[in-house]
Amino acid sequence: MRTTLLLPGLILCGLLAFSAQWMTEAQFFRNHFPVGAVMLAIILGTVFRHFIPVSPRMEPGIRFAFKRILRIGVAGLGFGLTVTDISEVGIRGVLLDSALIAGTYLFSIGIRKWLQLGENLPLLLATGTAICGASAVVAANTVLKAKEEEVAFSVATVTLFGTLSMFLYPFIARFLGIPIPIYGAWAGSSIHEVAQVIGATMNISPQALDFATILKLTRVAFLLPVLILLELFLFKQGAEVLSRAGLSTRKEHFPWFVVGFGVIVVLNSLHMFPPPMLTLLQKGDTWLLAVSMAALGLETHLGRILSVGPSAVKAGFWLWIFVSLWGLILSYILFGHSVHPF
């Protein structure tokens, strides 16, 4: 596809992404609405679509941003993680994250038939809830190929409940008298977004903030094996259907960007990127994700999101309740007998 065909839509997505980043850095939003540029970009894109006509000339660039740029952005999440981050949480931290992620997926599969959710929506919600919020949802969709309204709904849902956790967790901790090591483990293992984890712990103690952030980044590392497992699951489930359709395998659909994610984590662990360059790469990656999410917003219609139905809202709510309670239980089991988390 010629670059001239892509430019109008890419420019629009880029402008919306820059606007989202500017808003997240403004003092008002940092104090009262601490969500990332990724979420704001999808909101701006959706609002733009509904109040300003989008020229057909922009559609190729918008689709390119959502389908192609997204994969680069997801791979770039590796710039924020190293193998050292994982090792610092210790065996108990890895067990905590593993048990929480596995439990969340099992719970989402368990309520799928009860709430009649279909195949993809429970997995999108579980990925966003268990791993890293909006970024994990859109990463999972590169494998699941869900409907656009399901992706937009999942992003909005995990962001909403993650934000509620950010405000409610500190009050619950003070009311119940939860010790700082346990609180750090709880927040880091069960709150959706990195920014929300920081917001929920920074006013509790530096120790809680540090440990929760490391646990949260370790959850991000699980994105790699989870996406590979999802791909293998879909390969097994869909082999017969693909064969009838004239496709022997899903190899051409394998998410190679996930391999890129792993390679970047390894390179980052080897300190291949100087600190100024690493900061620039992380900011650039956030912008790429915001561009792709602006594109998702531009492809989204509110009526179609609402058509996902009340059962989907219930699913997001019950997943939030489950991950909060399960995370607290696991935190007490694994860290309740020790004053220090490490």
Mean pLDDT of the chain: 80
The answer to the question of residue 185 being in a domain is yes
The answer to the question of residue 342 being in a domain is no
Identify the band that residue 243 occupies on the pLDDT scale cut at 50, 70 and 90. very low
The answer to the question of residue 341 being in a domain is no
Which of 92, 26, 99, 16 minimizes the C-alpha distance to 295?
16
* pLDDT tops 60 at residue 339: no
Q: What number of residues does the chain have?
A: 342
pLDDT given at position 236: 58
| Mean pLDDT, residues 175-179 taken together | 90
The answer to the question of residue 137 being in a domain is yes
* Main-chain dihedrals φ then ψ at residue 146, nearest 5 degrees: -75, 175
* Residue, of 118 and 291, whose pLDDT is higher: 291
pLDDT given at position 15: 93
Please give the tally of structural domains in the chain. Answer: 1
pLDDT given at position 34: 59
The answer to the question of residue 13 being in a domain is yes
Whether 133 contacts 193, CB under 8 Å:
yes
| Mean pLDDT, residues 280-291 taken together | 87
Q: What is the DSSP letter of 299?
A: T
pLDDT given at position 244: 42
What does pTM read for this prediction? Answer: 0.67
Model confidence over 54-101: pLDDT tens digits? 888 888 898 888 778 877 887 787 887 787 776 767 888 889 999 999
* Residue, of 194 and 110, whose pLDDT is higher: 110
Angle formed at CA 101 by CA 79 and CA 224, multiple of 5 degrees: 35
Where is mean pLDDT largest: 73-82, 131-140, 226-235, 269-278?
A: 269-278
The answer to the question of residue 319 being in a domain is yes
Q: Which residues lie below 8 Å from residue 63, measured CB to CB, with a gap of 6+?
A: 9, 295, 299
Whether 157 contacts 191, CB under 8 Å:
no
pLDDT given at position 235: 61
Whether 95 contacts 314, CB under 8 Å:
no
pLDDT given at position 100: 94
Whether 214 contacts 88, CB under 8 Å:
yes
| Mean pLDDT, residues 124-131 taken together | 88
Radius of gyration of the chain (CA): 20
Q: Which residues lie below 8 Å from residue 201, measured CB to CB, with a gap of 6+?
A: 183, 184, 187, 188, 208, 209, 212, 213
Identify the band that residue 42 occupies on the pLDDT scale cut at 50, 70 and 90. confident
Residues of the domain holding 122: 3-335
* Residue, of 83 and 179, whose pLDDT is higher: 179
- Tell me the residue type at 68: R
pLDDT given at position 252: 45
Instruction: Quote the CA–CA distance of 217 and 219 in Å, as a whole number.
Output: 5
The answer to the question of residue 230 being in a domain is yes
The answer to the question of residue 259 being in a domain is yes
H helices of the chain, in order, are 3-25, 27-32, 37-51, 59-64, 70-75, 83-88, 90-115, 120-127, 133-144, 148-176, 180-190, 194-201, 206-221, 223-244, 256-269, 275-298, 302-306, 310-335
By the 10 Å C-beta count (0-12 exposed, 13-18 middle, 19+ buried), 339 is classed as: exposed
Residue 213's Cβ-side half-sphere holds a number of Cα atoms within 13 Å equal to 14
Q: Which residues lie below 8 Å from residue 77, measured CB to CB, with a gap of 6+?
A: 132, 135, 139, 220, 223, 261, 285
pLDDT given at position 253: 47
pLDDT given at position 14: 92
| Mean pLDDT, residues 236-254 taken together | 46
Identify the band that residue 139 occupies on the pLDDT scale cut at 50, 70 and 90. confident
pLDDT given at position 141: 81
Angle formed at CA 40 by CA 85 and CA 206, multiple of 5 degrees: 35
Q: Percentage of residues in the chain with pLDDT exceeding 70? A: 84
Identify the band that residue 265 occupies on the pLDDT scale cut at 50, 70 and 90. confident
Model confidence over 294-337: pLDDT tens digits? 887 787 666 656 666 677 788 888 999 999 999 999 999 998 86
Identify the band that residue 121 occupies on the pLDDT scale cut at 50, 70 and 90. confident
* pLDDT tops 50 at residue 162: yes
* pLDDT tops 50 at residue 248: no
pLDDT given at position 245: 39
